[in-house]
């Protein structure tokens, strides 16, 4: 097994170790990223929904990818408010259970990053896909533009499981016509210098790379909404 695959396995496993650290399914502790208080109303709300990889476990709020994303959007002239709705340890079942709460934030765009903890536990890919599919369906039908963050599982669980899991994200994205990020941790997983001392959670530099990975897909979502015209006249 290569270094990349071993460390990616650790990334997935440690998401479970932080389960419950400041996390509440009600959404307590959800933070708006960056300087959102200065963002004009009506310019769009982006909700980053996910587990510790979204929450930014082990680093400051300003270093997590939602905050970096908002800063880069502002630089490029997109006045959006980005909300960090990451909860450490969350599984796809947890994401589905709080999707209605996410909708109370009135998101225009939702970046959905979930499933890594399910993969580590070896949860049946059929159930994982059902949860992600239903979460995406609810978000999509609410009028939110969904950006689905793909995850990948290493082959220590066997080729059959790995292939079934990795196929979930492109299949769900295609079914609902939503935007897919092929691999959320591209360029970061398995790179010691881009992860914290635990060799698992991304460092501030790691999150800079994640932001660069996510950014073009978010811009695509913004432009997609603009093309549709006003959503709430």
Domain borders along the chain are: 3-228
Is the model's pLDDT at 204 over the cut of 50? yes
Tell me what the mean pLDDT of segment 195-207 comes to: 90
Give the active site residue among 88, 92, 118, 201.
Answer: 201
For the residues 8-16, what does the mean pLDDT come to? 44
Of 141, 145, 113, the C-alpha closest to 211 is 113
Residue 76 is among the residues annotated as catalytic for this protein: no
Residue 35: what pLDDT? 39
The distance of Cα 157 from the centroid of its chain, to the nearest Å, equals 23
The pair of three-digit structure tokens given for residue 187, joined into one six-digit string: 């360029």
Q: Is 24 a catalytic residue?
A: no
| 201 catalytic per annotation | yes
How far, in Å, CA of 16 to CA of 156, rounded?
Answer: 17
Q: Please report the pLDDT score of residue 153 as a whole number.
A: 84
Q: Per CATH, which fold does 3-228 belong to?
A: Rossmann fold (3.40.50)
- Name the catalytic one among 52, 88, 108, 118: 52
pLDDT reported for residue 231: 58
pTM metric for this prediction: 0.83
Bigger pLDDT: 205 vs 6: 205
pLDDT at residue 154, rounded to an integer: 74
pLDDT at residue 51, as a whole number = 95
């Amino acid at each position: 097994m290569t270094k990349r695959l071993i460390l990616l396995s650790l990334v997935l496993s440690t998401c479970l170790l932080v389960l419950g650290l400041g996390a509440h399914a009600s959404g307590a502790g959800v933070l708006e990223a960056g300087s959102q208080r200065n963002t004009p109303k009506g310019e769009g709300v982006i909700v980053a929904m996910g587990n510790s990889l979204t929450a930014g476990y082990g680093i400051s709020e300003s270093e997590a990818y939602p905050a970096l994303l908002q800063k880069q959007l502002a630089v490029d002239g997109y006045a959006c408010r980005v909300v960090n709705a990451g909860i450490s340890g969350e599984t796809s079942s947890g994401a589905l259970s709080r999707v209605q709460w996410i909708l109370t934030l009135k998101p225009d765009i939702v970046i959905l990053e979930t499933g890594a903890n399910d993969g580590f536990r070896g949860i049946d890919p059929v159930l994982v896909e059902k949860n992600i599919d239903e979460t995406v369906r609810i978000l999509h039908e609410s009028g939110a533009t969904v950006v689905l963050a793909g995850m990948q599982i290493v082959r220590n669980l066997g080729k059959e499981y790995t292939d079934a899991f990795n196929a979930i994200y492109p299949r769900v994205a295609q079914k609902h016509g939503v935007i897919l990020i092929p691999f959320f941790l591209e360029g970061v997983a398995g790179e010691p210098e881009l992860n914290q001392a635990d060799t698992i959670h991304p460092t501030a530099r790691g999150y800079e790379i994640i932001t660069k990975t996510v950014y073009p897909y978010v811009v695509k979502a913004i432009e997609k909404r603009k093309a549709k015209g006003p959503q709430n006249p």
